Amino acid sequence: MCGIIGMVGEGAPEFVVRGLRTLEYRGYDSSGIAVAKGGVVFVQKGVGTIDRIVSEPPEGVAAIGHTRWATHGGVTEFNAHPHLDCSGKYAVVHNGIIENHTALRQELVGRGHVFTSETDSEVIVHLFEEGVARFGDYEKALNYVLSKIRGQYAFVILTADGAILAARNGAPLLVGRSENATFVASDPVPLLGVASEIYRLRDGSYAVVTRAGAHISGEAQRVPEISARRVELGGYAHYMEKEIFEQPRALRDTLDYLRREEISLELDGRVHLLAAGTSYHASLYGEYLLRRRGIDARAFVASEYGSWKGREPDYIIAVSQSGETEDVLSVLRNQEGPEVVAITNTPGSTIEEYANTVIYTRAGPEVGVAATKTYTTQLLVFAHLFSGERPDKLPELAGQVIESAKPLAERLADELARKNNAYFLGRGLDVVTAREGALKLKEISYIHAEAYPAGESKHGPISLVENGFPVFFTASPDTFDETLPNVHEMRARGAEVVLASSEPSELAEYWFSVPHVSEVIFPMLSVIPWQLVAYYTAVRRGLNPDRPRNLAKSVTVR
Ligand code: AGP
């Protein structure tokens, strides 16, 4: 998704360029900065990384920057942000979608404005130019813009005399303060270690920032302290590697939080779980545990929830590590009846605005695009809430699995890197782990991987299997015996079998040993080998696991 950075104060241009680099993990295709100096706005922008666009940032006391993930308008230099108004005195960067941009553009062109891009975003800065001309005041001009535009947005305007105006409705935007500077950003990561206070603007609020300081209109929530240390790479090759290895600590912190705060949920009614991607897999795990307790629960891919024709639930459990996934938020925005419980890893994120109850995973900031530690801690939250088990040894066991699986995953990756397809199979709750393993492999190594219930593979999918075809089996102690016949079927057709289980099988070329634990705990451990296999395979393919193509860390558009 797009990233926004801004600053008023000494060193603003350099900070913006550095900040855009820290947002690169969010995925983008073009970038640019605008700098205010001596009553003029200088813009450098184009297709590609910020380092390719901005070799030497111009001096200035106020600057804004943007990394763009194209929605409206192709990937071109003209469509890259920032966009200038006709006078060249104002520049805008924008995340989200201005839904009525076509009509606004026609009106503005009719009043003589000349557009230089195909984007919806450009209407903002032309409206602002009109507002300043009409009211002679930046804040009034900003309110003029807000009265005209419709949609989900976070935007920041830079003025030639060094002021910044930031407004949000439905897309994240933060304001940070330090002793002698003020910052705006769409993500807390660039502010860590520089801003002593960070505030998350609420929908409908805005900030006006000048050298004299920041004035926030509307609601803003103080974001709890996140130490910059937690976001450093700390000697690992990639954030994804670090975050896989951090799981014992993340699980320990989450378990301590759940117990310290005595987190519990009594759900006496119908429950729908909503999520996307990896969080959807966690929701399937939650659905299983709820049903095991006799509760009428059903997990939905959030983007499909609109087509649900059944009865309305009494509760919605929305799972989103970022708390900013538009597919989830757009459902919650239109919910009146159900009690909403949010499970998120990001305090102060937008999902909190729509939840009656918020439960946190304590995984710490997850920078790698592929979810790893946020997934296992999501499972832990569900296990704590709905299983009645007390997984005290889980963090230690996770550390053991990481240590034993790492060398094997590295060896397997050498071979897997040359393959183009794979299956992930399992039975019962192990199907969820199979689905997560397939998603991890395909999203960062670009190997096509599909997950199926093991018993289903003979009803079609097995036709693809030939000599050397990699098939990954997840088999907990509860499903191991029932899964073995499927392993035989695959081996008989030449498949290369990779097994994650508590007991070995001579049918497997590679066996990842997982401790003999309950069906509830097993998924939090058996996913780790698949995380490591995906990570090392991507590296062997010469890819950057932290920045997989076409993907973003949080998908804030529909
Ligand atoms: C998972 O590795 C992907 N990054 C993606 O599927 C992600 O899980 C999905 O976009 C949901 O994100 P969220 O948890 O922040 O809502």
pLDDT at position 544 is 92
Flag whether 519 is in a domain.
Answer: yes
86: annotated active-site residue: no
Q: Does some domain include residue 398?
A: no
123 and 52 in a common domain: yes
3-state helix, strand, coil in the chain (%, to 5): 40, 25, 40
Query: Quick check: is 60 in a domain?
Result: yes
User: In angstroms, rounded to a whole number, what is the distance separating the alpha carbons of residues 139 and 299?
Assistant: 44
486 touches ligand 1 (CB under 6 Å)? no
Atom of ligand 1 nearest to the CA of 328: 16
Distance 371 CA to ligand 1 centre (A): 6
Best CA proximity match to 456, nearest among 475, 428, 436? 428
pLDDT digits (tens, 9 = 90+) for 374-410: 999 999 999 999 999 999 999 999 999 999 999 999 9
User: Confidence band (pLDDT; 50, 70, 90) for 27?
Assistant: low
Pair 510, 408: CB distance under 8 Å: yes
Kindly give the distance from the C-alpha atom of residue 369 to the centroid of ligand 1, in angstroms, as a whole number: 8
- Of the three residues 225, 247, 266, the one that is the final residue of a domain is 225
Same domain, 10 and 127: yes
Q: What's the mean per-residue pLDDT of the chain?
A: 93
- Tell whether the model's pLDDT for residue 24 goes beyond 90: no
The secondary structure of residue 170, as a DSSP letter, is B
Q: Which residue's CA is minimally distant from atom 13 of ligand 1?
A: 320
Q: How big is the CA angle at 361 (ends 3 and 218), to the nearest 5 degrees? A: 50
- Cα of 504 vs centre of ligand 1, distance in Å, is 32
Same domain, 214 and 242: no
**Domain's final residue, options 202, 225, 248:** 225
Q: What token pair was written down for 453?
A: 């219930």
* Cβ neighbours for 262, distance < 8 A, ≥ 6 positions apart: none
For ligand 1, is residue 532 a contact (CB within 6 Å)?
A: no
Model pTM? Answer: 0.83
| Residues 384 and 424 placed together within one structural domain of the fold | no
Specify the CATH number for the domain of residue 479. 3.40.50.10490
> Whose alpha carbon is nearest atom 3 of ligand 1?
370
Nearest ligand 1 atom to alpha carbon 275: 16
| pLDDT attached to residue 56 | 82
**Ligand 1 centre from 311 Cα, in Å?**
27
- Give the pLDDT score at 21: 84
Are 340 and 482 members of one domain? no
User: Does ligand 1 have an atom closer than 6 angstroms to the CB of 325?
Assistant: yes
pLDDT number for residue 175: 96
Q: 2, 45, 148, 442: which one is catalytic?
A: 2
Alpha carbon of 255 to ligand 1 centroid (Å): 22
Task: Tell how far the Cα of 149 is from the centroid of ligand 1, in angstroms.
Answer: 29
Statement to judge: residues 84 and 144 lie in one domain = yes
Q: What local confidence, expressed as pLDDT, does residue 498 receive?
A: 98
Catalytic residue among 89, 406, 440, 553: 553
Closest residue by CA, ligand 1 atom 6: 277
Residue that wins the pLDDT comparison between 480 and 50: 480
How far apart are the C-alpha atoms of 265 and 271, rounded to whole Å? Answer: 12
The number of the ligand 1 atom at minimal distance from the alpha carbon of 346 is: 15
Question: Which range of residues forms the domain containing residue 63?
Answer: 3-225
**Closest residue by CA, ligand 1 atom 5:** 277
Other Cβ atoms within 10 Å of 99 Cβ, number: 14
Domain assignment present for 483: yes
Range 535-557 average pLDDT: 87
Q: What pairs with residue 156 in β-bridges?
A: 93, 166
* CB of residue 398 inside a 6 A radius of ligand 1: no
Mutate to test the pocket of ligand 1, among 555, 556, 558 (most ligand atoms within 8 A of CB): 555
Q: Is 320 in the pocket of ligand 1 (CB under 6 A)?
A: yes
| Cβ-Cβ contacts under 8 Å for 341 (sequence gap 6 or more) | 265, 315, 316, 317, 318, 355, 356, 357, 358, 359
Atom from ligand 1 closest to the CA of residue 370: 2
Judgement on whether residues 426 and 382 belong to the same structural domain of the protein: no
Chain position carrying tokens 């994650």: 500
Binding site membership of 286 for ligand 1 (Cβ less than 6 Å): no
Q: Are residues 94 and 221 in the same domain?
A: yes
Within a 13 Å sphere around the CA of 284, how many CA atoms are in the beta-carbon half? Answer: 18
- Nearest atom of ligand 1 to the alpha carbon of 278: 8
Virtual torsion, Cα 480, 485, 490, 494, nearest 10 deg: 110
Q: Report if residue 554 sits inside a domain.
A: no
Protein residue whose Cα sits closest to atom 15 of ligand 1: 322
pLDDT tens per residue across span 227-271: 666 777 778 999 999 999 999 999 999 999 999 999 999 999 999
Q: Residue 201, Cβ neighbours under 10 Å: how many?
A: 24
Q: With a 6 A CB cut-off, is 554 part of the ligand 1 pocket?
A: yes
> Residue 194 falls within a domain, yes or no?
yes
Q: Is 322 in the pocket of ligand 1 (CB under 6 A)?
A: yes
pLDDT at 59: 87
CA distance 184 to 165: 9
Of ligand 1's listed atoms, the one at least distance from the Cα of 553 is: 4
Same-domain status, 318 and 248: yes
Q: Quick check: is 242 catalytic?
A: no
pLDDT band for position 554 (cuts 50, 70, 90): confident
Question: Tell me, what's the pLDDT at 25?
Answer: 63
| Inside any domain, residue 342 | yes
Q: pLDDT (tens digit, 9 = 90+) per residue, 117-147? A: 999 999 999 999 999 999 999 999 999 999 9
* Per-residue confidence (pLDDT) for residue 376, from 0 to 100: 98
Of ligand 1's listed atoms, the one at least distance from the Cα of 554 is: 15
Cα(545) to centroid(ligand 1), Å:
15
Rounded (10°) CA dihedral 535, 539, 545, 547: -170
Q: How far away, in angstroms, is 147 Cα from ligand 1 center? A: 33
Atom of ligand 1 nearest to the CA of 443: 2
How many domains, the chain? 3
Which pLDDT band holds residue 171 (cuts at 50, 70, 90)? confident
Residue 189 has pLDDT above 70, yes or no: yes
Give the end of a domain, one of 388, 413, 428.
388
Ligand 1 lined by 184 (C-beta under 6 Å): no
pLDDT of residue 1: 60
Residues 169 and 189 in one domain: yes
At residue 110 the predicted structure's pLDDT band, cuts being 50, 70 and 90, is very high
Would the CB of 282 count as within 6 Å of ligand 1?
no
Instruction: Read off the CATH number of the domain in which 169 is found.
Output: 3.60.20.10
Sign of the dihedral through C-alpha 550, 552, 557, 558: positive
Is 288 a domain residue? yes
Nearest CA to ligand 1 atom 16: 320
- pLDDT for residue 226 is more than 80: no
Which residue's CA lies nearest to atom 7 of ligand 1?
A: 277
Residues 288-316, mean pLDDT to the nearest whole number:
96
439 in the same domain as 322: no
pLDDT, tens digit (0-9, with 9 covering 90-100), for 483-523 = 999 999 999 999 999 999 999 999 999 999 999 999 999 99
**With bands split at pLDDT 50, 70 and 90, how would you rate the model's confidence at 453?**
very high
Same structural domain, 218 and 278: no
Average pLDDT score over residue span 299-306: 96
Q: Residue 463 pLDDT > 90, yes or no?
A: yes
Say yes or no to pLDDT of 556 above 90. Answer: no
Residue 55's pLDDT band (cuts 50, 70, 90): confident
